[in-house]
Chain A
Amino acid sequence: GAVVSQHPSWVICKSGTSVKIECRSLDFQATTMFWYRQFPKQSLMLMATSNEGSKATYEQGVEKDKFLINHASLTLSTLTVTSAHPEDSSFYICSARFPGTRGTDTQYFGPGTRLTVL
């Protein structure tokens, strides 16, 4: 299958700092990427849809000023958690849409980034 990478795989930061997470599609171009958040022993919740060259679409309840998303190229999307607080500690997972014909596209997921805010 297609390969999606995320960097860093884990990060620990102090409260109030900003953290940037990168998501790359390594062997295909992804016009659409998605950012999910997963709390321990819970399911994945979609945070936002990242579209190359345009603004991200955020899900209800997700603060766009806190979770900045930039999709500057067809292979890279970044999520910046601004002024992080302990409640932002979570597992952040990105996925990239591998295009197909007539709805046959599939999402491939990155390995995730575990963020711990002290």
Chain B
Amino acid sequence: AQKVTQAQTEISVVEKEDVTLDCVYETRDTTYYLFWYKQPPSGELVFLIRRNSFDEQNEISGRYSWNFQKSTSSFNFTITASQVVDSAVYFCALRGTGRRALTFGSGTRLQVQP
């Protein structure tokens, strides 16, 4: 069975603060794929990143960075210098080898106050 846990239900920060969203996953597959999606108030899911289990290199894309730690089964997401436009619900998701659908975490609602 696969499981994704996002323990932080809601986070509120002030603009320009850094914020880290936690994601812990469980899977028996040796090869798997991790994702982060953003869901703004409009509802549409926006793809942010995909990480393969065999690639533990951390990634930075502008103000976004991801820390993949296979040893702790975590795939955390950090936003540096947060902005109001970052306010959204962020979902971490997992896809195993034999399954094409995604298993989503419960999501973390981020509110960035001006």
Contact = CB atoms under 8 A, between A and B. Distances in A.
Interface of A: 1, 32, 34, 41-46, 49, 91, 93, 95, 97, 103-112, 114
A104 B95 CA distance: 11
Nearest to B10: A41
Interface of B: 31, 33, 35, 37, 42-47, 50, 52, 91, 97, 100-107, 109
B100 A43 contact: no
B107 A43 contact: yes
Contact of B101 (A49, A93, A106): A49
Given A103-B31, A103-B97, A110 B102 contact: no
A28 to B, nearest CB: 14
B52 A103 contact: yes
A46 B103 CA distance: 8
A110 B101 CA distance: 15
B37 to A, nearest CB: 7
Contacts of A112: 43-45
11 contacts: A44-B102, A45-B104, A93-B43, A104-B50, A105-B100, A107-B35, A107-B102, A108-B47, A109-B37, A112-B44, A114-B43
